[in-house]
């Protein structure tokens, strides 16, 4: 019920259009009933050879309802589809806005395919919510009341029989269907989501799957889910066939009963014979309003399951809570004091009482073996997570006092996994600053040393990079990341192992370009490669979340502790 109310609240802005569509839905079925009733009256009356003027009202009625049925049906379809697509837009925008507020850290806990499935699939299912769930009961009630009023003019027995037929077809049948396929709707939504998630996963990891000869295994996994989905869909189809058959049986039984009740009324003269066909066809055509109801129950189940999944994602607590009194950022000095952090209350401390400082314009390197907590520290700097103990201060003020987006605007980032969008090279670079001038763009290209490479491409800056930039080498991707950082021109630079996976020569060339990028910027570089660190003002060494050493490279080597060991390990190997 709570889910239903929330869903109705989201679609609140489209209610007027939906109401108009419902009115046209009622008018369409009304016209259909009118057409059949007027035709029955016309044919029955004509059989008695009356004067032609006695038939003229019925003739006009048939013409009117014949035309109005088509016009109303068109308007109802047009408006209801318009309302549905508006609703889809509303739900998509609502969902995306909620996702944005969740921050990267929370989104990491969902598989990318799961989010994709929610954005595309679950939202799509919700479009049925109006067309097949909300509208049919309203139309059913309006048509039922009007037809009952009409039948009551002849006999209350007609009303009782029609009520019986409507209750069976519109209430008992849907409840029966709901009981039988109670969990099927939920299972269908879950299986569809799983299939999409697996497909996205397989496409993203296709290289690994091929390299480890696991494509067959993955294909079998997808096939299993597909078979499960097929069997669920086949169950739904069987049930919908059965429901159709039972529905038709109820319609025809009601019509027979009405006919059976009409004959004695005509015999004893309390009803004129020409109304026999009118009453019978009115009853038969009124069922058009009730037959969609069993399916409304099925789609209600699917819509609720889809909505539940969407709400579970958007209800995830944001990990970064904005402080009320946000302040402007004065300068770029960073002070970290007794900083401790764990990912959740149950998990162990990933950072344990870390303290260090980076003055404005200084360069700090954070080094240490894998799992030491280097990336976690970076996530805290970018406010993907909020720390629990200790403090990080920027320009003398606590990090949590800043608006997260203003804070992130202070940081330029070059990471080991530069994501490139399936767009042109120009658009990928402009991502950092869409309103950059031509001159600013040219300067960024020049300093990132991308010009020569791009000019050789047949379409230059307009060359599409392909899905996640598959058409570019590692070095070229990193130069695009550097160009982005240059264009953003943020005063603090975060480098997260920017040369991982590059060959030695490319690494050296990229580090030279990064050297220029660091000029005049406060820099924090995370690395486990201990080369080129002699230019850093300070190096901190992390191990299992604790800071074990601190100083310049020469001091750390002289200390003969962890840094010295790691340094010799790497240089001896080289
Ligand atoms: P490094 O970058 O030095 O390799 P990380 O900061 O990535 O180290 O990881 C430090 C520890 O935190 C590891 O034990 C890792 O398993 C854990 N960790 C990293 N990310 C998460 C996360 N999102 N949720 C829970 N634990 C995490």
pLDDT at residue 108 in the model: 59
Q: Which of 372-386, 464-478, 486-500, 541-555 has the highest mean pLDDT?
A: 541-555
Rounded distance between C-alpha atoms, residue 240 and residue 132, angstroms:
14
Would you say the CB of residue 319 lies under 6 angstroms from ligand 1?
A: no
β partners of residue 391: 337
Pairing of β 492-496 and β 351-358: unpaired
Instruction: State if residue 343 touches ligand 1 by the CB under 6 angstroms criterion.
Output: yes
Angle at the Cα of 332 from the Cα atoms of 327 and 337, rounded to 5 degrees: 85
Sequence-separated contacts (24+) of 352-358 with Cβ below 8 Å:
352/545, 352/546, 353/390, 353/546, 353/547, 354/390, 354/540, 354/542, 354/546, 354/547, 355/390, 355/547, 356/538, 356/540, 356/547, 356/550, 357/333, 358/333, 358/334, 358/522, 358/524, 358/537, 358/538
Q: Would 79 be classed as within a structural domain?
A: yes
Compute the distance from residue 262 Cα to the ligand 1 centre, in Å.
Answer: 80
Q: 492-524 as b/e, with b when 16 or more CB fall inside 10 Å?
A: bbbbbbbbeebeeebbebbbebbeebbeebbbb
Give nearest CA residue, ligand 1 atom 20.
376
Q: Is residue 226 part of a domain?
A: yes
Q: Which CATH number belongs to the domain containing residue 283 in this structure?
A: 1.20.1560.10
Q: For residues 499-527, give the mean pLDDT.
A: 83
Instruction: Kindly tell me if the per-residue pLDDT of 147 is higher than 90.
Output: yes
Atom of ligand 1 nearest to the CA of 379: 6
Helix (H) or strand (E) holding 539: strand 538-543
Q: pLDDT-derived band of residue 467, with 50, 70 and 90 as boundaries?
A: low
Ligand 1 pocket, 371 CB below 6 A? yes
Residue 523, helix vs strand vs coil: strand
**Contact 486/552 with Cβ under 8 angstroms?**
no
Distance CA 205, CA 182 (A): 36
CA 92 → CA 96, 127, 199, 310, distances in Å? 6, 11, 22, 10
Range of the domain at 248: 2-314
| Residue 548 burial class via C-beta count within 10 angstroms: exposed 0-12, middle 13-18, buried 19 and up | middle
Pocket of ligand 1 contains residue 500 by CB under 6 Å: no
* pLDDT at residue 326 in the model: 45
The protein residue whose alpha carbon is closest to atom 21 in ligand 1 is 343
| Residue 43 pLDDT level (bands cut at 50, 70, 90) | very high
Edge-to-edge strand ranges of the sheet holding 397-398: 351-358, 334-341, 389-394, 397-398
Structural domain includes residue 77 = yes
Q: Which residues contact 175 (CB under 8 A, 6 or more apart)?
A: 297
Q: How far is the CA of 320 from the centre of ligand 1 (A)?
A: 18
Provide mean pLDDT across the span 229-247.
Answer: 88
Distance between CA atoms of residues 436 and 510, nearest Å: 24
The reply to whether ligand 1 has any atom less than 6 angstroms from the CB of 375 is yes
Ligand 1 atom with minimal separation from the 542 CA: 3
H or E element: which one contains 367?
A: strand 363-367
For the CA of 528, the nearest atom of ligand 1: 3
Give the pLDDT band (50/70/90) at residue 193: confident
**pLDDT mean over 270-279:** 89
Q: Judge if the beta carbon of residue 350 lies within 6 A of ligand 1.
A: yes
196, part of any domain: yes
Q: Which residues of 442-467 are buried (b: 16+ CB within 10 A; e: fewer)?
A: ebbbebbbbeeebeeeeeebeeebee
Residue 158, pLDDT above cutoff 50: yes
Residue having the nearest C-alpha atom to atom 27 of ligand 1: 343
Write down the pLDDT at residue 278. 92
CA dist., res. 269 & res. 248, Å (int): 32
Which residue has its alpha carbon closest to ligand 1 atom 6? 373
Q: Is the CB–ligand 1 distance for residue 370 below 6 Å?
A: yes
C-alpha gyration radius of the chain? 35
Q: Is the pLDDT of residue 320 over 70?
A: no
Report in angstroms the alpha-carbon separations of 424 from 473, 482, 513, 564. Answer: 15, 16, 23, 44
Q: Is ligand 1 within 6 A of the CB of residue 376?
A: yes
The answer to whether position 273 is within a domain reads yes
Window from 309-323, 369-383, 539-553 with minimum mean pLDDT: 309-323
Q: For residue 106, what pLDDT is reported?
A: 56
Q: Measured in angstroms, how far is the CA atom of residue 406 from the centroid of ligand 1?
A: 26
Crossing angle of the two packed helices 438-447 and 474-488, in degrees rounded to 10: 130
Best probe residue, ligand 1, of 365, 367, 371, 416 (max atoms within 8 Å of C-beta): 371
36 against 86, higher pLDDT: 36
Q: What is the CA(350)–ligand 1 centre distance, in A?
A: 7
pLDDT the model gives residue 29:
94
The pLDDT of residue 148:
94
In a domain, residue 30? The reply is: yes
For residue 197, is it within any domain?
yes
Cα separation of the two ends of the chain = 65
Per-residue pLDDT at 103 exceeds 70: no
* Distance from Cα 422 to the centre of ligand 1, integer Å: 29
| Of 174 and 323, the one with more pLDDT | 174
Q: Which helix (H) or strand (E) holds 341?
A: strand 334-341
Q: What long-range pairs does 202-205 form, CB within 8 A, spacing at least 24?
A: 204/112
Q: What is the pLDDT of residues 426-454, one digit of tens each?
A: 888 888 888 888 888 888 888 888 888 88
50 in a domain, yes or no? yes
**What is the distance between the alpha carbons of residues 108 and 110, in angstroms, rounded to a whole number?**
5
Is residue 556 within 8 Å of 539, Cβ to Cβ?
yes
Per-residue pLDDT, averaged over 404-420, amounts to: 80
pTM of the model: 0.61
Hey, how many other C-beta atoms are within 10 angstroms of the C-beta on 348?
Answer: 9
Please state the domain count of the chain: 1
Name every residue whose Cβ is closer than 8 Å to that of residue 87 and which is 6 or more positions away in sequence.
11, 14, 126, 127, 129, 130
Note the pLDDT of residue 102: 60
């Amino acid at each position: 019920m709570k889910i239903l109310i929330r869903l109705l609240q989201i679609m609140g802005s489209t209610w007027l259009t939906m109401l108009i569509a419902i009115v046209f839905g009622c008018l369409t079925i009304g016209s259909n009933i009118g057409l059949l009733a007027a035709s029955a009256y016309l044919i029955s009356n004509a059989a008695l050879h009356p004067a032609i003027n006695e038939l003229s009202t019925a003739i006009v009625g048939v013409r009117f309802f014949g035309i109005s049925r088509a016009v109303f049906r068109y308007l109802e379809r047009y408006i209801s589809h318009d309302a549905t697509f508006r609703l889809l837009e509303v739900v998509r925008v609502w969902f995306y806005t909620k996702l944005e507020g969740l921050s990267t850290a929370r989104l990491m806990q969902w598989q990318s395919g799961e989010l994709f499935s929610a954005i595309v699939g679950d939202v799509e299912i919700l479009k049925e919510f109006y067309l097949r769930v909300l509208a049919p009961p309203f139309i059913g009630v309006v048509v039922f009341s009007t037809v009952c009023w009409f039948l009551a003019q002849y006999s209350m027995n007609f009303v009782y029989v029609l009520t019986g037929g409507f209750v069976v077809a519109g209430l008992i049948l849907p409840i029966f269907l709901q009981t039988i396929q109670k969990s099927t709707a939920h299972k269908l939504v879950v299986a569809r989501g799983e299939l999409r998630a697996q497909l996205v996963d397989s496409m993203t990891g296709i290289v690994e799957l091929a390299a480890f000869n696991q494509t067959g295994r993955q294909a079998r996994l997808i096939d299993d889910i597909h078979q499960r989905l097929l069997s669920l869909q086949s169950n739904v189809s069987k049930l919908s066939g059965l429901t159709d058959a039972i529905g038709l049986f109820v319609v025809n039984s009601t019509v027979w009963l009405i006919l059976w009740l009409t004959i004695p009324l005509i015999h004893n003269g309390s009803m004129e014979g020409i109304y026999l066909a009118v009453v019978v066809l009115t009853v038969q055509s009124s069922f058009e309003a009730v037959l969609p109801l069993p399916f409304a129950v099925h789609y209600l189940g699917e819509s609720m399951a889809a909505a539940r999944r969407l709400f579970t994602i958007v209800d995830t607590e944001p990990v970064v809570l904005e402080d009320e009194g946000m302040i402007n950022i004065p300068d770029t000095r960073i002070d970290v004091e007794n900083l401790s952090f764990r990912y959740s209350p149950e998990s162990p401390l990933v950072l344990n009482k870390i303290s260090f400082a980076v003055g404005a314009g200084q360069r700090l390197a954070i080094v240490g073996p894998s799992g030491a907590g280097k990336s976690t520290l970076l996530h805290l700097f970018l406010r993907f997570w909020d720390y629990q103990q200790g403090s990080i201060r920027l320009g003398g003020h606590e990090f949590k006092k800043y608006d997260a987006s203003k804070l992130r605007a202070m940081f330029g980032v070059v990471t080991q996994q530069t994501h490139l969008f399936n767009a042109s090279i120009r658009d990928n670079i402009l991502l950092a600053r869409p309103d950059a001038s031509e001159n600013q763009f040219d300067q960024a290209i020049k300093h990132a040393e991308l010009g020569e490479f791009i000019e050789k491409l047949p379409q230059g800056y307009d060359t599409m990079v392909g899905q996640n930039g598959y058409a570019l080498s590692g070095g070229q991707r990193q130069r695009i990341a550097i160009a982005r950082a240059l264009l953003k021109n943020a005063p603090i630079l975060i480098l997260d192992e920017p040369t991982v996976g590059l060959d030695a020569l490319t690494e050296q060339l990229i580090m030279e370009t990064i050297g220029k990028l660091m000029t005049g910027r406060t820099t924090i570089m995370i690395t486990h490669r201990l080369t080129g660190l002699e230019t850093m003002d300070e190096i901190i060494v992390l191990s299992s979340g604790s800071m074990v050493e601190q100083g310049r490279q020469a001091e750390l080597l002289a200390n003969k502790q962890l840094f010295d060991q790691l340094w010799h390990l790497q240089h001896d190997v080289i």
